[in-house]
Amino acid sequence: MSESEYSVVIKYTEDENYDPNGMRLFFAPTARPLKSWGKFISVMEIFLPTIGIGITDYSILAGGMSLVPGAEQQYIYMHLKFIPFQQENLNLAFGNVYATLKEGERDWDGGFLYTVLTAGD
């Protein structure tokens, strides 16, 4: 086998300093955008995996399902965020988080709306 068959190709975005993790914190969103068709996968404490995609430069759709061992049912959650105001060091966003749990005869559905302002680099 030749050396070229084992080579690794690293593909950069147009902006080599672009970091998709800037659009979220450990457990809460920032007002930073995710580029159009940018994608992310995150896992909080191994039990809450989330996948997301930048629909446009101004909106993000994400969702996931809890993975709690031994639980009869798991939570399903969705997140939609809009970022109408974007400047270099100041962003304003609003969105919603919705979660549902189906458990026998009892169903739990809930969510909340939020607004967030992120300043700085």
Residue 78 included in any domain:
yes
Residue 101 included in any domain:
yes
**Structural domain of 31:** 20-119
Residue 37 included in any domain:
yes
Write down the pLDDT at residue 10: 47
pLDDT in tens, the chain (121 residues): 444 454 444 454 555 555 555 656 666 778 888 888 888 888 877 888 889 899 999 999 999 998 888 887 888 999 999 999 999 889 999 999 999 987 767 788 999 999 999 888 7
Q: How many domains does the chain have?
A: 1
Residue 85 included in any domain:
yes
Asked whether the beta carbons of 79 and 52 are under 8 A apart, the reply is yes
Residue 34 included in any domain:
yes
Write down the pLDDT at residue 31: 83
Asked whether the beta carbons of 117 and 31 are under 8 A apart, the reply is yes
Asked whether the beta carbons of 53 and 63 are under 8 A apart, the reply is no
Write down the pLDDT at residue 39: 84
Write down the pLDDT at residue 82: 95
